[in-house]
A and B are shown apart, each in its own frame.
Chain A
């Protein structure tokens, strides 16, 4: 079946550190891939997306590349800020009739000054 696996958290980093959050997926066909961010007390917001193999999504200094050969969509940022503290969710849409997105369990990131 279709699934998303992302690294367990929590992740704690110092400001300006490099961030990687791993995400791998299992899906039939050619899904679209997403990273969502949830700031404390808020709903999920789309951070970036990629719709086909080798696409790179980017936003707010975050990047992720759709790697079909390794079925991965790892999230990276070169220099994190305290304001990046949030929960990050990897998700896929395989276009099925059920209409839902498949989410990973989320990774909580805390950035210390």
Chain B
């Protein structure tokens, strides 16, 4: 089954404790992205990757890191989480061109 898998689904952590949210896709897609969803703000792109070892900032990259060492995986790293990073996070992937994106189930992160 074609899918994008994120883990964990729920995470509560403390300020400053490094964490990683994993994302994996099995569709051989070139493009992968991370979004955060906040009430009243919709979806905002954090980082994206157009292929292995090619990543770039989206609209709200501060406080986040990503890597793309393999085509299927695109982890999101929070080196020192802060409460303003409490949000619902989505990973997405798609092929190049005018194509639709496929989304993971989301990770609800709470930073206390």
Contact = CB atoms under 8 A, between A and B. Distances in A.
**Chain A partners chain B:** yes
Nearest to B50: A99
Interface in A73-113: 89, 93-95, 97-101, 103-106
Given A42-B105, A43-B105, A104-B42, A99 B98 contact: no
B98 A31 contact: yes
A100 B42 contact: no
A51 interface: yes
Given A89-B43, A105-B41, A98 B48 contact: yes
Nearest to A103: B43
Given A100-B33, A105-B41, A32 B99 contact: yes
Contacts of A36: 103
B51 to A, nearest CB: 10
B95 to A, nearest CB: 10
Contacts of A101: 92, 94, 100-101
Q: Summarize A's interface: helix, strand, loop or mixed.
A: loop
A105 B42 contact: yes
A94 B98 CA distance: 7
B45 A93 contact: no
Contact of B106 (A42, A95, A104, A106): A42
Contacts of A17: none
A32 B100 contact: yes
Interface string B29-58: 001010000001111010011100000101
B81 interface: no
Contact of A43 (B40, B58, B104): B104
A100 B58 contact: yes
Given A43-B90, A43-B105, A99-B31, A93 B98 contact: yes
A51 B99 CA distance: 9
14 contacts: A32-B100, A43-B103, A43-B106, A44-B90, A46-B102, A49-B100, A93-B98, A94-B98, A97-B50, A99-B49, A99-B94, A100-B33, A101-B100, A105-B41
